[in-house]
Amino acid sequence: MTNALHTSSLTSLPLLARGKVRDNYAVGEDRILMVASDRISAFDVIMGEPIPGKGELLTKMALFWFDKLGHICPNHLTGAAPESVVTPAEVAQVQGRAMLVQRLKPIPVEAVVRGYLAGSGWAEYQASQSVCGVKLPAGLKNASRLPKPIYTPAAKAEVGEHDENITFEKTVEMIGPDLAAKIRDISIAIYKAASEIALKKGIIIADTKFEFGVDEAGTLHLIDEVLTPDSSRFWPAETYQPGISPPSFDKQIVRDYLETLDWNKQAPGPHLPDDVIRHTGDQYRKAQRLLTA
């Protein structure tokens, strides 16, 4: 645990915000240094124990996907080295785990795409044969592949609060019909392209979420992280079988452990045992190795 970074402490740059995982610092008026910590959250609560090396893994995976998906949508990367904007004493906090990005206006919508029934989607389907208001065929099982990917957006919440599932129509009210439709269509296109790449590496992307921002010209950019175990549900393709909840290359291990506890899913989070921390780190590393090999 000695090499884990739970919270960064850069003093050479103004701190803008701390999210569930990332600490964002202002670099002038037009750039942001995003530092991926080793924090892990579950049920929108940040745990007290970090997953050593997690921030570096998330950064490597996000950079891999930004490179693969740039033809579908531009992203917020500047191409400059994060180490170039901090003092020599602070380089160790950013090396390998930070991105220097454009400062854009974030869209207050999480663009969630689901290709399979899982988690809360499966529970909702059992109750209403729909997910987030999207009607689905009868007879689907837990972990069933959907006839086609569906877009089920959420309204972004403050840290510690729960994101709220909303309808596409609600996003139209929030950001206008043209931008809402563009985000929906690009999100589905990115999911489809990424799913094809991942499947060739032996990984099923069951669902994922994207975030977007716009520049002063109104150009849409993919921002934050993309297709990491924090933002996606990854399953091993070789053992996939509808009707059975597959093991996940993500933080489902943490969620499953927390579900065994008498905890109200409010902060502070319970203590994570060493074996849960170690197993979670192993799954993150395995996902990164498979996808980026």
Arithmetic mean of pLDDT, 209-236: 95
Q: Is the peptide bond before 177 cis (omega within 30 degrees of 0)?
A: no
Residue 73: both structure tokens together: 């949508």
pLDDT at 1 over 50: no
Burial of 153 (0-12, 13-18, 19+ CB in 10 A): buried
Domain 15-103 belongs to what topology?
Phosphorylase Kinase; domain 1 (3.30.200)
Of residues 88 and 157, which shows the higher confidence score?
Answer: 88
Write out pLDDT tens, residues 175-185: 999 999 999 99
Per-residue model confidence (pLDDT) at position 60 = 96
| From 107-111, 131-135, 228-232, 246-250, the region with the lowest mean pLDDT | 246-250
pLDDT at 2 over 60: no
Architecture of domain 106-251: 2-Layer Sandwich (3.30)
Q: Are 155 and 108 in contact (CB under 8 A)?
A: yes
Which DSSP category does 77 fall into?
Answer: B
Report the DSSP pairing between strands 145-151 and 220-223: unpaired
Give the pLDDT band of residue 71 (cuts 50, 70, 90): very high
Residue 167's beta-bridge partner residues? none
Residue 103: both structure tokens together: 């400062």
Tell me the residue type at 230: D
Give the orientation angle of helix 252-259 with respect to helix 274-292, to 10 degrees. 150
pLDDT at 171 over 90: yes
Per-residue model confidence (pLDDT) at position 289 = 94
What's the rounded Cα separation, in Å, for the pair 40 and 38?
6
Per-residue model confidence (pLDDT) at position 75 = 98
Domain range annotation of the chain: 15-103, 106-251
Per-residue model confidence (pLDDT) at position 119 = 85
- Give the residue carrying structure tokens 């919508």: 109
Write out pLDDT tens, residues 200-212: 999 999 999 999 9
Transcribe 138-193 into DSSP letters: TT--TTPEEEEEEE--EE---TTSPPEE--HHHHHHHH-HHHHHHHHHHHHHHHHH
**Does residue 111 sit in helix, strand or coil?**
strand
Give the pLDDT band of residue 125 (cuts 50, 70, 90): very high
- Give the residue carrying structure tokens 């390998």: 96
Per-residue model confidence (pLDDT) at position 252 = 83
Per-residue model confidence (pLDDT) at position 58 = 95
